[in-house]
Amino acid sequence: MSRIESALVNLQRWDERACARLNRGLRYRLLRHVFRAVSRLGDGVFWYALMLALLLRDALEAALPVLHMLVVGLVCTAVYKALKRGTFRPRPFQALAHIDAGIAPLDRFSFPSGHTLHAVAFTLVAMIYYPGLAAVLVPFSVLVAASRVTLGLHYPSDVIAGAALGAAIALASFALT
């Protein structure tokens, strides 16, 4: 076995162990409900509400930040869909008998985590315009990422890849403006 193959096997083992460890949190009713709620908010509700709140509070001054978030969101969605079509990684609860699904998935495959991709991208864009929002947005994004693994929908590497892609897209959007 080559070093690369060995590294990939070790990564897969780590992914599965970390996923199983976090998924055990579903045994606790409160934790299960919190992560389900966070995941549902991460479907888009939280981000749309944030954009609306910014527009209501700052009117025209918020137009550029909100438009920026919308464009970044569209790019994230396009990248996410292209990757989902090109990768066929089953979700942890589908591949591993000891992983429970804490909530129904929005689509079939695991890689990458679209919730995390969007959470990181929106957080970075919003924080550039409104640095004071970091105290709310960073913890929420971390919770979104954790919820995806805990709920058995993603492996940690799916979440890490989603976060990296979201950060890259958000930062690239500022380089282009």
**pTM score, two decimals?**
0.93
- Which SS3 state, helix, strand or coil, does residue 23 take? helix
77-86, pLDDT tens digit by residue?
999 999 988 8
Pick 3-176's CATH classification: 2.60.40.10, 1.10.10.10, 1.20.144.10, 2.40.50.140: 1.20.144.10
Residues with Cβ within 8 Å of 54's Cβ and at least 6 positions away in sequence, in order, are 62, 65, 66, 126, 130
Element (H, E) at 55: helix 46-58
Give the model's confidence band at 96: pLDDT under 50 very low, under 70 low, under 90 confident, else very high: confident
| Phi, then psi, of 126 in degrees rounded to 5 | -60, -40
Among candidate residues 24, 19, 55, 56, the one with its CA nearest the CA of residue 158: 19
Query: Dihedral (C-alpha) 147, 148, 149, 155: value to the nearest 10 degrees?
Result: -160
Judged by average pLDDT, the poorest of 35-49, 80-94, 116-130 is 80-94
Query: Dihedral (C-alpha) 172, 46, 145, 137: value to the nearest 10 degrees?
Result: 70
Give the model's confidence band at 106: pLDDT under 50 very low, under 70 low, under 90 confident, else very high: confident
Give the model's confidence band at 44: pLDDT under 50 very low, under 70 low, under 90 confident, else very high: very high
| pLDDT beyond 80 at 1 | no
26 φψ region: left (φ > 0), alpha (ψ -120 to 50), beta (else): alpha
| pLDDT beyond 90 at 88 | no
56-72, pLDDT tens digit by residue?
999 999 999 999 999 99
Average pLDDT over residues 45-51: 97
| pLDDT beyond 80 at 132 | yes
The token pair that represents 77 in the structure block? 């969605």
**pLDDT at position 163, please?**
98
